[in-house]
Amino acid sequence: MDILLLILIVPFVFGILMFLMPLNFKLLKNLHIFLSLIVSVVLLTAVGKVVDGGELHIFHQFIFLDSLGAIFLSLIAITGLLVNIYATTYMKWELEEGHITLKEVKNYFALSFIFTWTMALSVLCNNIAFMWAAIEATTLASVFLVAVKKDKKSTESGYKYIVLCSIGLAFALYATILLYSAANGNIDGEAMLYTNLLANAANLDPMALKLVFIFALIGFGTKAGLAPTHTWLPDVHAEGPAPTSALLSGVLLKCAMLGLIRYYAVVANGVGFDFVQTVMIISGTLTLFISAFFLIRQHNVKRMFAYHSVAHMGVIAFGLGVGGAIGLFAALFHCAAHSFTKALAFCSTGNIARIYGTKDMTKMGGMIRIAPITAVLFGIAICSLVGVPGFAIFVSEFLIFKAAAIGGQYILMGIFAVALAIIFIADFSHFFLATFGKVEGEVVHNSEMKLSENLPLLGLAILIVAFGVWQFDSFTFLLDESVKSIMK
Amino acid sequence: MENIINIVTVLMMATSFAVFSLRQYHHSIKAYALQTLLLVIVFLALYFKYGSHELLIWAITAFVIKVVFVPLYLLRLIKKIGVVVEDEPVGGFFISPVIALSFSLAVSMMLYKVFIHFSLFQEILPLFAASFIFMMGIFGFVLRNSFLKQILAYCLFENGIHLSLALMAYTSHELVEVGILTDAIFAVIIMSVLAKRFYASYDSLDTSKAINLRG
């Protein structure tokens, strides 16, 4: 069976299978880990085939996997697997503390496969309308991963999530229809296919393309968390369970960003790079400063990381705005670096909330003595988030500086440096508050988690350091090919 | 045939204003059902004009899903929850429709001029109506506080997009229509489940009460 067809079938079938399982936690847990592993192997096999032999496609190119998609598919596979394994531990704690029922755990596990399926579909769709439908489906599939409980806060976060993302994505659908209409009859082949649109972008109406990009930016930008339509993100990420926040921030935001990057490529090749770069610089700068302002005021550890997600989407937008081969390379690398880092950050908040019984950092302190491994993992996430050398995010942020310097964009370098400095100060003050000094509040769980419980977090930490100090040839190859495909 | 389409799309604009403005939920839902029926008529008119079989399939699926299923589902929801009249919107019941109407007209005046450059159907009024209905839906989300009105706003802008698709790109594959409609159904169902939960938590559908997560 074709590997792409397998991706379209396997996660969905596993989701249905999980729904049908009996209410036995041990069985559900083991099955969830085992099936997640299979899904990741399938996804990574497809990525490997792209590395070895180039683009894959089925159904008359309706479904395809190019190097750009392969980068994001590998994030779904790797980050998704580690977070799903951590989810079994987190749900066990929630179950033991009576915060959740076994039926809700089963639904959570089942929905996470459906969610993975929709994300993979959004990456694989060459048909732009289907890509939109898949990205909208990611919202629908993940609403009840966020609103797991039925209390006020959970319901409110679910409401904000679906309503705000749906409004935003309506603009993206309009962009899709406009793009198709502008292309239909003016290009060779099916005008709904991204590959055809990209190949014939120069033949499209420039005014239509500019309107398309503005609509796509509002639409996919809302879903990706770009300001000023980011407002759903802090509420949703802060309220959902830690593994959900990790999946949303680590993987889902990137899938929405992929949608935007595909429109970026088509419009840039149609009207020139200056237009899209200017728009992305404005969007990125606005996002960076708004998030930095809110970040510095946060004491809730999950809200802090949520604003970080907004900030780093701003970094990606900034990288796309600086442009050039290095700027694009940096933006794509940042998608991966941020995926691993934010997954670790949110998963570590699961440990932290267990230790202190609260997400308020002013009531923490002394974590290094209570749970040293968790404190170190938390520290690794923070170090990477602020761009300390030796951690993954440093690489992409450094490359954005380099791209700006090569292009002589010194004002942009200054703006970027100021925004990162604010984020740096905010983060380290929060980190010291929670990790060192004396305990300010109550300690509910006065010991480190078991090694087996911390294993997925350790895996993410290793990835963050590895991507910070090592160049992986296959991954670099995918990045280079993607940049070439965008710049044509 | 152009005249029929012009008249029907103007009626669709009127119904979008009715969906937005009517205070009683069941009136709003019925106005939405009527609007979708008009949309089906546009699909059929375009089918007879151009003979594109995709439009016939769109008409049938839109009728089953959006004229019959969605309104019935929403009527059942309000009956189950026991709500009759909408909560006070942003700016009050009188100002809110005036704002939505004026801004939607202004935005549509700009958009149709772009659309007409590449639309397959080259009539001004229907293209204007398509963006007007879309914008009324967007303003429905922004200005109406009721969760149920926001679900109807989603349905409204989905109709606006659907009309745009029919006018500008009716040759697109049927699967595109199926994909978009499937999402729309699931969105309405999931939002309805959340609306029920919301009512159970807040004893109201007024979303301005959802302020627990600010910070």
Question: What ranges do the domains of chain A cover?
Answer: 3-487
A residues 231-270 closer than 8 Å to B (CB) = 234-235, 238-239
Per-residue pLDDT at A427 exceeds 80:
no
Paired strand residues for A360: A300
pLDDT tier at A232 (50, 70, 90 boundaries)?
Answer: confident
Q: Is A143 on the interface with B (CB under 8 A)?
A: yes
Alpha carbon A3 to its chain's center: 24
Give the list of residues 6+ apart from residue A58 with CB closer than 8 angstroms, or none: A2, A4, A5, A64
Distance from CA of A91 to the nearest CA of B (A): 22
pLDDT tier at A332 (50, 70, 90 boundaries)?
Answer: very high
Segment B11-24, tens digit of pLDDT: 999 999 999 999 89
pLDDT tier at A37 (50, 70, 90 boundaries)?
Answer: very high
Per-residue pLDDT at A430 exceeds 80:
no
Per-residue pLDDT at A322 exceeds 70:
yes
Segment A349-377, tens digit of pLDDT: 999 989 988 888 878 888 888 899 999 99
pLDDT tier at A299 (50, 70, 90 boundaries)?
Answer: confident
Q: Is A361 on the interface with B (CB under 8 A)?
A: no
Segment A153-167, tens digit of pLDDT: 888 888 889 988 988
Query: How many structural domains comprise chain B?
Result: 1
pLDDT tier at A264 (50, 70, 90 boundaries)?
Answer: very high
Nearest to B201 among A155, A170, A192 (CB): A155
Whether A159 sits inside 8 A of B207 (CB atoms) is: yes
Give the list of residues 6+ apart from residue A365 with CB closer than 8 angstroms, or none: A433, A434, A435, A436, A437, A438, A439, A440, A441
Paired strand residues for A26: none
Per-residue pLDDT at B215 exceeds 60:
no
Is B144 inside any structural domain?
yes
Give the list of residues 6+ apart from residue B186 with CB closer than 8 angstroms, or none: A137, A140
Mean pLDDT over each residue of chain A, to the nearest integer = 91
Note the pTM of the prediction, 2 decimals. Answer: 0.93
Token pair listed for A419: 């925004």
Segment A84-137, tens digit of pLDDT: 999 999 999 999 988 899 999 999 999 999 999 999 999 999 999 889 999 999
Contact status, residue A85 vs residue A31, Cβ threshold 8 Å: no
CA dihedral A249, A453, A96, A350 (to 10 degrees): -30
> Residues A11-31: what's their mean pLDDT?
95
Pick the range with the lowest mean pLDDT from A136-150, A228-242, A423-437, B86-100. Answer: A423-437
Contact status, residue A256 vs residue A165, Cβ threshold 8 Å: no
Nearest to B176 among A129, A137, A205 (CB): A129
Per-residue pLDDT at B168 exceeds 70:
yes
> Residues A275-300: what's their mean pLDDT?
91
> Residues B43-55: what's their mean pLDDT?
88
> Residue B214: its pLDDT value, please?
61
Is B214 inside any structural domain?
no
- CA–CA distance, A149 with A177 (Å, rounded to integer): 37
C-alpha dist (Å) from residue A57 to A37, A64, A127, A300, A414: 24, 4, 12, 45, 43
> Residues A171-199: what's their mean pLDDT?
88
With CA atoms as reference, report the closest residue to A246 among A156, A354, A348: A348
What is the predicted ipTM?
0.89
Query: What residues make up the domain containing B119?
Result: 2-207
Percent of chain B's residues with pLDDT above 90:
48
Whether A207 sits inside 8 A of B172 (CB atoms) is: no
Is B87 inside any structural domain?
yes
Whether A166 sits inside 8 A of B161 (CB atoms) is: no
